[in-house]
Amino acid sequence: MIPVAATPTSAMEEELQISKTQRKREMQALQDLGEELVALGTDKLAELELPTRLLDAVLDAKRISKFGALRRQMQYLGRLMRDADADAIRSQLDVWKGTSVAETARVHAIERWRTRLIGDELALGELLGQYPRADAQRLRALIRNIKREAAAKKPPRSFRELFQELREIVQHPKNQFATEDTEITEGNQEKKRMPGLKPFAR
C-alpha cells in the first residue's frame, strides 16, 4: 500500500500545534519571571524601573493572600510581562543572585524549609515558632495542594508558590550556632546587636 503524503492542511495543523505549545511555554516562563518580581523587596523593584502597569500589578500581588486571587493575578502579570523587557529583567535578577552572599544563604534556607514542610509534619510548627507572623493557614493549604498536584501529576504550581511564600517569611536565615543577640552579616560574620534594638525588616 502506497503511503499517503501529508496534505498541506495537515502540515499547517502540525505547525499550529507547535506554535501553541511554544506560546504556552513562553507564557509560563514570563509568569515564572513575574513570580520572581513579586518576591523582590520594594527597593529592588525600584531599581528595575518597571513600567507603571507592571509595577502596580506586582505590588498588588504582594498584598493578595487568597490562593485563587493570587493565581489570577500571576496570570495577569504574565500577560503584562509580554510588553516588558523580560531579558533585561532576567539579566538584572541574575546579577543580584550571583553577587549576594546573604541572598544565596537565604535561598538555601528557604529550599531546606520547603523540603521539610512537605515531608515532615512537625516542620510547620517549628517554622511558626521561629517566624510567628507567618500565615499558618496559607502554608497548610499550599502543602496540601503540593501533595495533591504531585499525586495527580499536575504542574508544580503550589511547589513554586510555597517557595515564594517562604521568601516573604524567611528574611534572615539564622546560623545554627547564633543566639538571639547575634545576626549573620553578608560576610558570614556574626555581629553583636545593641540590647533592646531589633533589626530593620527588609
3-state secondary structure 113-141: HHHHHHHCCCHHHHHHHHCCCCCHHHHHH
Contact 74, 35 (CB under 8 A): yes
Note whether 23 and 94 are same-domain residues.
yes
Place of cell 511547589: 159
Q: Which domain CATH number covers 118?
A: 1.10.60.30
Dump pLDDT digits (tens) for 142-200.
999 999 988 998 887 888 889 889 988 987 544 332 333 333 333 344 333 333 334 43
Q: Are residues 112 and 130 both part of a single domain?
A: yes
pLDDT in tens, 56-110: 999 999 898 888 888 898 888 888 888 888 877 887 887 777 756 676 677 778 8
Of 47 and 101, the one with more pLDDT: 47
- Backbone dihedral region for residue 101 (phi beyond 0: left; psi -120 to 50: alpha; all else: beta): alpha
Q: How many domains does the chain have?
A: 2
If asked whether residues 47 and 116 sit together in one domain, one would say no
Q: Give yes or no: residues 63 and 93 share one domain.
A: yes
Helix (H) or strand (E) holding 183: strand 182-184
Residue 41, helix vs strand vs coil: coil
Query: Angle CA(82)–CA(35)–CA(140) in degrees, nearest 5?
Result: 145
- The backbone region for 181, taken as left when phi is positive above 0, alpha when psi lies in -120 to 50, beta otherwise, is alpha
The whole-number average pLDDT for the span 33-39 is 90
What domain range is 26 assigned to? 19-99
In this structure, the answer to whether residues 58 and 114 fall within a common structural domain is no
Do 85 and 123 have their domain in common? no
Convert 144-168 to b/e letters by CB count within 10 Å (16 or more is b): ebbeeeeeeeeeebbbbbbbbbbbb
Cβ atoms within 10 A of the Cβ of 68, count?
8
**Same domain, yes or no: 82 and 107:** no
State the pTM of this model.
Answer: 0.41
